[in-house]
Amino acid sequence: MRLQLQVGALCVAMVSLAACSAGSTADANGARIAGRGQSDRHAMYQVELERARAERVQRLRAPDGWLSYTGSGRVRAGRYQVGSDPRSDLVLPAGPAQLGQLTLDADGRVHFDSAASAPVHLNGQRIDRVRLRPERAGQRGDRLDVEGRQFYLVQTGSLFGWRFRDPAAPLLTHFAGLEYFPTDPQWRIQARWQAYPTPRTTTLLTSIGTPLTVQVPGEAVFSRNGRDYRLQPIVSDDGRGLFFLFADRTSGKETYGGARYLYTAAPHDGRLVLDFNLAENPPCALTPHVVCPIASPENRLDLAVNAGEKTYRATER
């Protein structure tokens, strides 16, 4: 009987050992599978991120992208001779010496009379005299085609300016890409969306200190290292998503000082994704020829967002 008990105990011990071994193997296999799953998800996320960044670079490289600007200036009510002649009122960096005359009335109407010898086109048609629609936020205006280059006006509130684009712009032809912080999936954050009962009107400042009135529909609340942070967006130009302008502890050091921009999909069921790996420089960080809004005091985070684009350093490339 004692022998049988001993043998029985040994069998139980062996079965337990086998079960334990099998369990350990299963746990190890599960850990490896989970690890592979996490690695696969990270790889897929990296592919999606690289695709989004490649699309942004492609837009920047476009002949009429942000890097194509070569000239700009303010315009007040009055008449201006326009051309590349240095004696012109508005001196263009290229094109005919005498392009024509620009007239901005006190009521904001704009007319352009082309010089007889200037090859000026609008929408593919040669023009002599035309009323021009300035570009406004989210609205494309009339762009005069000047031998493949573009001359047009922009309007921000009651302020007017002129812009000149050239597909052979040095910033465009010498563009060597953007710099980024290392990709960190933890900066892809699920945020809570708190909509306001009615959108709030607020005033942002632009990169040249002019005011810009916008509507804020609510705020996104996210957590980082046990602390909550809030960001107020405005509605994106297409009306289908949100547009965040934010600054953080890296601003003015590793990133552009005025703001970085982040676009998101519209909130769903009180949630939205803030993927700071997609944070990008505003246009005014890439070229001196545009004006753009900067982060409001409410959107200056007491947090170092080590994700997304770093400061663009064209002169070092």
Q: Quick count: other Cβ atoms within 10 Å of Cβ 312?
A: 22
The architecture in CATH of the region 66-173 reads Sandwich (2.60)
Quote the CA–CA distance of 314 and 317 in Å, as a whole number. Answer: 6
pLDDT, tens only, 105-161: 999 999 999 999 999 999 999 999 999 999 987 789 999 999 999 999 999 888 999
Per-residue pLDDT, 157: 82
Cβ contact 228:221 at 8 Å: yes
Of 278, 285, 233, 291, which is closest to residue 259 (Cα–Cα)? 285
- What is the mean pLDDT of each successive set of 10 residues along the chain, which is 317 residues long? 35 34 44 58 92 97 95 97 98 97 97 95 94 90 96 92 97 95 97 97 93 95 97 87 97 97 97 98 96 96 98 69
Mapped onto helix, strand or coil, the DSSP state of residue 54 is: helix
Counting Cα atoms < 13 Å in the Cβ hemisphere of 289 gives: 21
Cβ contact 106:84 at 8 Å: no
Mapped onto helix, strand or coil, the DSSP state of residue 86 is: coil
pLDDT, tens only, 248-268: 999 999 999 999 999 999 999
Cβ contact 223:247 at 8 Å: no
Phi, psi of 15 (to 5 degrees): -65, -45
Phi, psi of 241 (to 5 degrees): -145, -165
The structural domains of the chain, with segments of one domain joined by +, span 66-173, 178-316
Quote the CA–CA distance of 242 and 236 in Å, as a whole number. Answer: 5
Quote the CA–CA distance of 282 and 293 in Å, as a whole number. Answer: 8
Helices and strands in the chain, H and E counts: 2, 18
